[in-house]
């Protein structure tokens, strides 16, 4: 009874569970311009994911999988649907998710063939990240059962909670659901016997094992986390495709306003996080302080943002690389190490970025 009353009073006074607050970018998340100053390796039309194997860097770009060789891009594979996730297997093969609904495994050297492994069904709708498990299975995150990957803002604004973690046996083509009811699962990396999963709408990482979802090693993030990849020397690189704002948190609690906005407004102009911004004067100016005298303030509330976080093996943030509100390299959805560099995919700007690991180490004394 007291809990019910407390819930009611919290909603009236906007406190407790109804408090509209956002954690600060401080400590290891202190903003810098490392990502904004990164070398631009390539400008791509529809980049989605990155993978690396044996020093090779692979990029999922629209319906193609590309290999980065020297300064050029080679087409490794072309499909009839968009590649929404990509990973390299230990044996050198590549696994892709097509339109978020089907998994294909093919040879990176020879390209796709008719006898490639193809796994569909299991209600896969928005598979957005893949990784190889030590057991030989593929682990995948399926962001939503209601919306495809391209409509992730719809899932957020609908309070979607249909994300899943899948374990896929590429030999028997069996799909096992390891965890469900997640609020947009987007990114997975193996850790010990289990996996670490990004749950974007809950702004946290989650441990997932064979018995389902477990504890959260990192939560209350000021961003929407996306893909994870292992880092040399232990730990992970965690990308975040945008930052949280009090305005979006507020809209998410205002059900009437949110429903009308979804019905009547072009999704491009919703009060919602974006992968890039500043494209139209009709965009909502969050906090009404985005520009002063024609200059975008770097510390303004982010409609879009670029961020890569370096985590240690316990998922404690060590440092982070930023492209702030006044930058362009926003909507970061993937980062992988290849050779002596960290490659970062800024989907919002359509850019593949490169940062030498030695430069990062020098900057942060890592």
Partner 1 sequence: MTDNVVELRKATKLYAGVPAIKDVDLQLRRGEIHALVGENGAGKSTLTKALSGVVTLTSGQLFINGAEVSPRTPLEARQLGVAMVFQENSLVPTMTVAQNLFLGQEKFYNRLRGIYIAAQQFLQSLNFDVPPTATVGLLGAAKKQMVEIARAVLHQAKVIIFDEPTASLTPEEKAYFFDLVRDLKKRGVSIIFISHALEEALLLADRITVLRDGKHVVTDDAANFDRARIIQAMVGRDLSNTLYGKRKTTVRPSGERILSVQNLKMAPMVKNNSLSVFAGQITGVFGLVGAGRTETFKIVAGVLKRDFFYGGEVLLKGKPVRYRVPAPAVQDGVAYVTEDRKVEGFFETMSIARNVYLGLLSKFPGGRFLLSKREADQTGDDWISRLKVRAISPKAKVVELSGGNQQKVVIAKSLAQEPDLIIFDEPTRGVDVGAIVEIHELINKLADDGKAVVVISSYLPEILALSDRILVSRQGKVVEEFSALDATEEKIMYAAIH
Strand partners of residue 185:
199
Edge-to-edge order in the sheet of strand 212-213: 185-191, 194-199, 204-209, 212-213
Please, which residue, 24 or 134, has the CB nearer to partner 1? 24
In angstroms and rounded to an integer, the radius of gyration of the C-alpha atoms of the chain is 20
Helix, strand, or coil (residue 66): strand
**Rounded Cα gap, residues 308 and 319, in angstroms:** 9
Closest approach of partner 1 to the CB of residue 359, in Å? 17
**Rounded Cα gap, residues 247 and 20, in angstroms:** 8
Please, which residue, 116 or 219, has the CB nearer to partner 1? 219
How is residue 22 written in tokens?
Answer: 């956002």
Please, which residue, 19 or 362, has the CB nearer to partner 1? 19
Closest approach of partner 1 to the CB of residue 165, in Å? 23
Site for partner 1, rule CB under 8 A: 13-16, 19-24, 26-28, 30, 219-220, 246, 316, 318
Are residues 121 and 175 in contact, defined by beta-carbon separation less than 8 angstroms? Answer: yes
Please, which residue, 226 or 320, has the CB nearer to partner 1? 320
List helix spans (H) across the chain: 2-13, 152-157, 246-253, 255-264, 357-364
Closest approach of partner 1 to the CB of residue 312, in Å? 9
**Rounded Cα gap, residues 164 and 169, in angstroms:** 16
Please, which residue, 168 or 207, has the CB nearer to partner 1? 207
Closest approach of partner 1 to the CB of residue 248, in Å? 14
Distant-in-sequence, close-in-space partners of 323: CB < 8 Å, separation ≥ 6: 33, 35, 36, 305, 306, 307, 329, 330, 332, 346
Please, which residue, 138 or 240, has the CB nearer to partner 1? 240
Closest approach of partner 1 to the CB of residue 56, in Å? 34
Closest approach of partner 1 to the CB of residue 311, in Å? 12
């Amino acid at each position: 009874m007291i809990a019910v009353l407390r819930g009611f009073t919290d909603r009236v006074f906007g406190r407790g569970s109804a408090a509209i607050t956002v954690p600060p970018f401080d400590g290891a998340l202190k903003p810098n311009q490392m990502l904004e100053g990164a070398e631009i390796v390539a400008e791509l039309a529809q980049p989605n994911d990155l993978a690396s194997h044996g020093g090779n860097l692979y990029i999922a770009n629209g319906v193609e999988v590309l290999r980065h060789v020297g300064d050029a891009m080679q087409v490794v594979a072309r499909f009839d649907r968009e590649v929404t996730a990509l990973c390299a297997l230990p044996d050198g093969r590549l696994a892709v998710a097509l339109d978020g609904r089907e998994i294909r495994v093919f040879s990176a050297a020879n390209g796709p063939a008719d006898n490639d492994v193809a796994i569909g069904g299991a209600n896969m709708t928005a598979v957005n990240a893949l990784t190889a498990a030590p057991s030989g299975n593929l682990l995948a995150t399926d962001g939503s059962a209601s919306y495809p990957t391209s409509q992730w803002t719809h899932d957020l604004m609908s309070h979607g909670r249909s994300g899943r973690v899948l374990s896929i046996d590429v030999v028997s083509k069996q799909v096992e659901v390891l965890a469900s009811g997640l609020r947009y699962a987007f990114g997975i990396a193996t850790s010990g016997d289990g996996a670490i999963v990004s749950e974007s709408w809950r702004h946290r990482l989650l441990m997932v094992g064979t018995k389902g979802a477990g504890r959260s090693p990192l939560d209350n993030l000021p961003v929407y986390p996306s893909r994870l990849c292992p880092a040399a020397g232990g730990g992970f690189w965690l990308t975040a495709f945008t930052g949280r704002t009090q305005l979006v948190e507020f809209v998410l609690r205002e059900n009437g306003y949110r429903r009308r906005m979804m019905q009547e407004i072009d999704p491009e102009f919703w009060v919602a996080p974006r992968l890039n911004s500043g494209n139209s004067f009709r965009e909502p100016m969050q906090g009404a302080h985005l520009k002063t005298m024609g200059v975008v303030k770097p510390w303004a509330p982010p409609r879009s943002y670029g961020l890569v976080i370096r985590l240690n093996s316990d998922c404690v943030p060590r440092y982070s690389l930023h492209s702030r509100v006044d930058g362009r390299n926003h909507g970061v959805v993937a980062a992988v190490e290849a050779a002596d560099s960290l490659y970062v995919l800024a989907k919002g700007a359509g850019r593949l970025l490169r940062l030498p690991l030695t430069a990062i180490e020098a900057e942060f004394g890592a």
